[in-house]
Structure 1
């Protein structure tokens, strides 16, 4: 695993895609977690291959070909973000989707993917709040009282970061990096050599923290 959890960058991210292909990102949001809070948020539009959008996706997130006509394609966006992502701990809600977007889009353009460890906050939420009927981002954030504009990539990244911070607080850990060990989970890993998915604990109950 990369680096010391107390110095490592922690970045929550979220993608929106233009069509049924994972290799069609049209928007990425990122939220940096520092000193126990979301410290910075960024959003980048991305022009997907062929600028092809499906009606279902447009209805889902409200982004269409006009908004991204002048945006950079993934290789240029990635090169701007690579110094931030390489060596970071990346958080994503349903990380299998977001990591597959990176993998498939890098394969499409034949570019090297970034290298980072990652944690799925859906798995975190299932372990920390097993009583919830669903662990979708809007449901978990409703339980936590976190307001955000769902299906906006930057807002979803912010909300993902807030979920991780709330889980860390409830489990008595100072750093989000320490959550997997407390919850009996393992981090996933993406690199140019391939990827390893994270593993979540099944049926885990929230740790009892006495203050």
Structure 2
């Protein structure tokens, strides 16, 4: 399996307000790298108190951080040519689209898959499918609502789900889960 797991934290409810992104790269079913960037959002210095209460990132934490357009090429290079997986992927894909649109940047052709859908298919008996609940179920400890940690846990849960579904290659993902794969 080759894929990247991605997670965004946002400063406000605006989809272009990414204040942190984490990317976890999986090659040959092994996590090889996780990288996190703090991002100065377009709303800076304004952050919704609700969002801060979720992730704990304050305006002061990002005052010297690059903007999304300044880090996108590095992020895109890490993700190049792989399937993107995210937990609640419609949110993360929406944030990615929102950031690209805000900066007038080209939207790449990326296939993405939601790890919630993978988890529901793999463990259809669980009462909840949030990242925290799945991590607890699989005894994975992490710092929830920080982008790098969330992306890495998403990757770990996805790998466990692929294993449970006997999916061992990206081709099998496309064959077995084609209705679940979306385009950015």
Q: TM-score range by the shorter chain?
A: over 0.9
CA distance in 2, matches of 1:168, 1:109: 35
Q: Which of 36, 41, 49 lines up with 2:42 in the alignment?
A: 49
| Structure 1 stretches lacking a partner, 5+ long | 1-5, 191-211
Shift in CA distance, 177/15, structure 1 to aligned 2, threshold 3 Å: farther
Query: Paired residue for 2:99?
Result: 105
1:89-145 CA-partner distances (Å, limit 9, x unpaired): 111000000000011121122111232111110111111111111110111121112
2:155 equivalent to 1:161: yes
CA distance in 2, matches of 1:173, 1:147: 25
CA distance in 2, matches of 1:16, 1:171: 30
| 1:100-139 pair list within 5 angstroms | 100-139=94-133
**Comparing 170-179 and 129-138, the one that deviates more:** 170-179
CA distance in 1, matches of 2:43, 2:178: 43
Query: Paired residue for 1:35?
Result: 28
Q: Which of 56, 62, 66 lines up with 2:60 in the alignment?
A: 66
**Conservation of the 8 A alpha-carbon contact between 2:23 and 2:75:** no
Deviation at 1:37, TM superposition (A): 2.1
**Conservation of the 8 A alpha-carbon contact between 1:16 and 1:27:** yes
CA distance in 1, matches of 2:178, 2:85: 17
**Conservation of the 8 A alpha-carbon contact between 1:61 and 1:152:** yes
| 3-state SS of paired residue (2:156) | helix
Count of aligned residue pairs for this structure pair: 183
Look at both structures and tell me which one has the larger radius of gyration over its CA atoms: 1
Shift in CA distance, 145/181, structure 1 to aligned 2, threshold 3 Å: farther
Shift in CA distance, 177/166, structure 1 to aligned 2, threshold 3 Å: farther
**Conservation of the 8 A alpha-carbon contact between 1:14 and 1:98:** yes
TM-score w.r.t. length of structure 2: 0.92
By relative contact order (CA 8 Å, sep 6+), the higher-ranking structure is 2
Q: Which of 66, 73, 76 lines up with 1:79 in the alignment?
A: 73
CA distance in 2, matches of 1:103, 1:183: 23
| Structure 2 stretches lacking a partner, 5+ long | none
